[in-house]
Structure 1
Amino acid sequence: MGILSRASYVVRSRLNAILNNAEDPGEALDYSYEQLRDQLQDVKGGIADLTTQKKRLEIQKRRLEENVDKHNEQAREAVRQDRDDLARQALEKKKQKMTQIEDLEGQIADLQQTQDQLVEKKNTLQGRIEEFRTQKETMKARYEAAEASTRVSEAMTGAGDEMEDVGRSIERANERTEDMEARAEAMDELEESGAFEDALSDQDSIDRELESLSTDSEVEAELETLRGEMGEGGSSSSSTETETETAEAETTDTDDGSSNAGGDEPADPEVEAELEELQNEDSN
């Protein structure tokens, strides 16, 4: 096998593999069914043509039979007119027509036999087509049921391409969500630590620190006032620490006719015998 032959074989093999993978069995069965129906129609057309040809021969045969009767009457009339020469010519033509009739009968018989064979084949083919149609519909139903079952199973197990795409989308969304949550927590932490200054505020870190100390002093002063009013002592610094810790929250595609020219031929013994009989009939 040459290089070109091997390359052609490889290309055909790959194309066949692609077509097999992409082929819909239902469409393939419908196409095969239509091809069988076209073949049946061709057989019917052949039978019709054959029958037409047979009918033409039968018409030609009837015309020849009419000519035989005509020549027979011509021969009788010629004998009555004492024209043996004309009677002889008529009988010769009669014999020619009878020979043609025999040939036509053989051809008609052959055509009839062929027609009978074609009709039998047509009936056999038609039966097979009906059987194939039943099998086709059954196979299509089985394929569609199997296809539906496969799709459901793939959807439930996540083995299909569509579910795989959905899984990847969910995974990507989850990753992006986690990234955004982590970034939000980082920004909160940086803001709380004072690493990022508020763009809308003119305070710097020193101002915020002093403000915090001032707030703590006010709280401590109010606390001392409450202690004095209630007459209770003790430290409540633990309550302030708890409030600070709880401020952070996390949200995770398929006429012919024989002319025998009659020519003048030597006297035929059969014609002479028939002429003699006609002469005897006329003399009687």
Structure 2
Amino acid sequence: MSDNTQRMRTIFRTKTSKALTRMEDPRDALDDSYEQQVKLLHQVRLAVAEVATAKKRIELQGEEMGARHRRLGEQAAEAMAQGREDLARAALQRRAALESQVTKLQEQHASLQKQTSQLQERERRLAEQIAAFRIEKETMKATYSASEAQVRANESVAGIGANMYDVGASLDRARDRVAQMQARAQATDELLSSGALQDLTGAPDADIERQLAELASRADIERQLNAMKKADESRSSGMNVHAPDGWLSIGQAPPTP
């Protein structure tokens, strides 16, 4: 092998090593890891906004149902005052059907409220983690830059070759990869815990439960009609027309006769 060929190979290896060192700069890797975590935080915040929007839509729908629920109660009382028991019965039947819809809406509202709280807590934890990582990142970058400058100065003074520099660079790369893997593990752990799957399958024997609920609803209507027949005033105290808590209190507790 000629001296020229050996010299060319030495130059090629030196340039390749320097190129790889630039590609694996730990400062760039730290910045990339930080940007990924910021993107994760943005995704969590978008999820919080979407859940809050869905909850607001349910609240508006619940308010509309609550207003209709009160109106049907008033219509039933007015019908009884006019001697129209058939109209009162129809109004109460519609109100009972509406109460079933409101109950489902209340369950969705409670589920979204719980999901909102969970997402907000994860957002807070992730924001704290990112803030701490940013401080550590800047500290490590400053330390690396200072060390890099010191190495270059020492090599210029003492004439240390590329081999010694490669040893230190390899150690720095190994440490940086460990730090990146730790950050990635923390980020993926947050992602895995951020989504809660809701079981949408129907409960067994749902048909029996539905029939029992219908029987109970008819019995409640008959009870209200009997109470209205015995009342001297046009409004029955068991109507609960104006609930103090709005639509969220509909169907929560049976009225006291």
Q: Do residues 271 (structure 1) and 221 (structure 2) align?
A: yes
For residues 128 and 72 of structure 1, the distance between their equivalents in structure 2, rounded to whole angstroms, comes to 53
Give the CA deviation at 1:101: 1.6
Give the CA deviation at 1:89: 0.7
- Cα distance, 1:151–1:20 mapped onto 2, change above 3 Å: closer
The C-alpha deviation readout for 1:12-47, integer Å capped at 9, x for no partner, is xxxxxx856631111111111111011001000001
Give the CA deviation at 1:114: 1.1
Residue of structure 1 equivalent to 2:31: 30
Matched ranges for 1:221-260 at <5 A: none
Task: Give the letter for the 2:52 counterpart.
Answer: T
Task: Give the letter for the 2:90 counterpart.
Answer: Q
The C-alpha deviation readout for 1:111-142, integer Å capped at 9, x for no partner, is 11111111111111111000000000000001
For residues 24 and 63 of structure 2, the distance between their equivalents in structure 1, rounded to whole angstroms, comes to 58
Residue of structure 2 equivalent to 1:155: 156
Matched ranges for 1:1-284 at <5 A: 22-160=23-161, 268-281=218-231
Contact 1:75/1:90 (8 A) holds in 2: yes
Contact 1:151/1:160 (8 A) holds in 2: no
Instruction: Indicate the RMSD between aligned Cα atoms, in angstroms.
Output: 2.2
Contact 1:88/1:271 (8 A) holds in 2: yes
For residues 122 and 43 of structure 2, the distance between their equivalents in structure 1, rounded to whole angstroms, comes to 12
Q: Which range is displaced more, 38-47 or 97-106?
A: 97-106
Give the CA deviation at 1:63: 1.1
Secondary structure of the structure 2 residue equivalent to 1:268 = helix
For residues 64 and 137 of structure 1, the distance between their equivalents in structure 2, rounded to whole angstroms, comes to 55
For residues 47 and 85 of structure 2, the distance between their equivalents in structure 1, rounded to whole angstroms, comes to 50
- Percent identity of equivalent pairs: 39
For residues 269 and 146 of structure 1, the distance between their equivalents in structure 2, rounded to whole angstroms, comes to 83
For residues 76 and 27 of structure 1, the distance between their equivalents in structure 2, rounded to whole angstroms, comes to 74
Task: Give the letter for the 2:123 counterpart.
Answer: K
Secondary structure of the structure 2 residue equivalent to 1:108 = helix
Give the CA deviation at 1:69: 0.5
Contact 1:71/1:91 (8 A) holds in 2: yes
Residue of structure 1 equivalent to 2:171: none
Give the CA deviation at 1:102: 1.6
Q: 5+ residue gaps in structure 2?
A: 1-18, 163-213, 235-257
The C-alpha deviation readout for 1:153-194, integer Å capped at 9, x for no partner, is 111122357xxxxxxxxxxxxxxxxxxxxxxxxxxxxxxxxx
- Figure out how many residues of one structure are paired with residues of the other and give that number: 164
Q: Which range is displaced more, 19-28 or 115-124?
A: 19-28
Give the CA deviation at 1:279: 2.1
Contact 1:92/1:271 (8 A) holds in 2: yes
Point out which structure has higher relative CO (alpha carbons under 8 A, 6+ apart). 2
TM-score relative to the length of structure 1: 0.54
Task: Give the letter for the 1:93 counterpart.
Answer: R
Give the CA deviation at 1:55: 1.1
For residues 280 and 19 of structure 1, the distance between their equivalents in structure 2, rounded to whole angstroms, comes to 93
